Amino acid sequence: MKKRLATMAVAAVMAAGPVMADLVFPSLSYRTGAYAAGGIPFADGYADYFTLLNERDGGIGGVMTKVPECETAYNTEKGVECYESLKDSGGLVYQPLSTGITYQLIPKMTADDIPLHTMGYGRTSAANGKVFSHVFNYPANYWNGASVIVNHLLEQNGGDMKGKKVALVYHNSAFGKEPIRTLEELSAKHGYELSLLPVDHPGQEQKSQWLQIRRDKPDYVIMYGWGVMNQVAIQEAANIRFPMENFIGIWWSGAEHDVMPAGEAANGYKAVTFHAVGDDFPVFDDIRKYVVDKGLAAGAGDQVGKVVYNRGLYAAMLAAEAAKKAQEIHGTAQITPSMMRDGMEALEITEERMAELGMPNFGPSFSVSCENHGGDGLGAITQWDAAAGEWKMISEFGPSDMDVIQPLIIEDSEAFAAESNIEQRCN
């Protein structure tokens, strides 16, 4: 009897074949709290893309994907707790969607040999792969964003910004202060006059800043805002009749929920972006067919095609492509976080590949290397059309001024390396 049972057990195990563990892409989301309006669409886009891969392609390289969510409420302590609680799940890459959480996770994840992707946020100088081995911020960072905005202004002024006045309205935090140095360097280079107007968290009261703008009459206002600060700033700009086409936000100030409360008055407001807006791409047909129509959409399924949803979708696509690259490099479908890091470092996104994925021109072409974890730093300008109720691309993806940005990246990252005793790599 015992012999028969043992034989049956062995046969059952052999019949089952090798069991493949899922590829885990944890989502540190914030669906609650003051910043939920931005957190929900990103989390939905991120989850929906992996659901699409599972339903349409059978996962990545034949291995199904899994997206465990942990609610951070955009709170740094909770974000770190989420990372610690999910660490044993085998998460391949973490995207905390918060600069505060990013700063806390950089040393932890480097020690744990797990990669961190902070797309368009986080520590900008992490683009230097020689110092930040496990942090990636491709395809663009805050400094690229500032430079692309200035390039747009240069284009509008026939390449000459001398004598022009530019005001930066920024969230008075590490995030909001990020572009100051870059804008100062660009001001010295192009001859515009820069004034700085910090807004304290959360930014519900900005009367002083906008009265000052009304008095100083800057030609352009650049905004690095997040949360309620964005809606209030756009409303205040409308109140003082500042021309909306001269008001340009960073990508975290350029979503539908930022402009909707101001209604018609927000028409013409602009924002820089590193990915396309709208849902006129073949991938959205697949999202609807394989995810939404099957009732598998994350959240309420009502965010498809919104700006921040697209950002989440794009982040997921880049993670999936890096995972494929890691599978190629290591010759196994069952990759580890360390292998994933290698895949991210060898990632190359081409126009052809984007078209194959149903996302032609959805984002810029770029490549990552050991030295460069930030990609090529391209960006485009979008503009809000209040009548149509949608954001529209008004420029192609264009370069940022790396002659100005790269020395800043090197300076900041090398200072970090010196104070943290980090030996530089890629030699």
Q: Using CB under 8 A, which of the segments 186-194, 228-236, 276-284, 381-389 binds other proteins? A: 228-236
Residues 287-316 binding other proteins (CB under 8 A) are: 300
**Residue whose structure tokens are 């900005």:** 206
The residue within the footprint of other proteins, chosen from 21, 174, 240, 418 (CB under 8 A), is 240
- Type of residue numbered 368: V
Residue 291: φ, ψ to 5° = -115, -60
Q: Using CB under 8 A, which of the segments 8-16, 112-120, 126-134, 232-240 binds other proteins? A: 232-240
CA angle 30-112-416, nearest 5°? 85
253 neighbors 223 (Cβ within 8 angstroms): yes
Listed in order, strand segments (DSSP E) in 7-96 are: 23-24, 27-29, 65-66, 69-71
Is position 40 an interface residue for other proteins (rule: CB under 8 A)?
Answer: yes
Nearer Cβ to other proteins (157/173): 173
Of 149, 124, 158, 322, which is closest to residue 221 (Cα–Cα)?
A: 149
Is position 211 an interface residue for other proteins (rule: CB under 8 A)?
Answer: yes
- Type of residue numbered 258: D
Beta bridge partners of 266: none
What length does the chain have?
A: 427
Is position 330 an interface residue for other proteins (rule: CB under 8 A)?
Answer: no
**Six token digits for residue 98:** 């918060």
Nearer Cβ to other proteins (63/287): 287
Q: Using CB under 8 A, which of the segments 9-17, 57-65, 151-159, 234-242 binds other proteins? A: 234-242
Residues 124-163 binding other proteins (CB under 8 A) are: none
Of 122, 54, 52, 70, which is closest to residue 409 (Cα–Cα)?
A: 122
Is position 235 an interface residue for other proteins (rule: CB under 8 A)?
Answer: yes
Q: Please, which residues have CB within 8 angstroms of residue 39's CB and are 6 or more apart in sequence?
A: 29, 30, 31, 33, 74, 97
Least Å distance, CB 227 to other proteins, is: 6
What is d(CA 56, CA 47) in angstroms, rounded to the nearest whole number? Answer: 14
Residues 178-197 binding other proteins (CB under 8 A) are: 196-197
Is position 357 an interface residue for other proteins (rule: CB under 8 A)?
Answer: no
Is position 268 an interface residue for other proteins (rule: CB under 8 A)?
Answer: no
Nearer Cβ to other proteins (228/339): 228
- How many residues sit close enough to other proteins to count as binding (CB under 8 A)? 39
What is d(CA 291, CA 309) in angstroms, rounded to the nearest whole number? Answer: 14
Least Å distance, CB 329 to other proteins, is: 40
The residue within the footprint of other proteins, chosen from 106, 140, 222, 228 (CB under 8 A), is 228
Is position 207 an interface residue for other proteins (rule: CB under 8 A)?
Answer: yes
Nearer Cβ to other proteins (207/294): 207
Nearer Cβ to other proteins (33/90): 33
The count of other CB atoms within 10 Å of the CB of residue 264 is 8
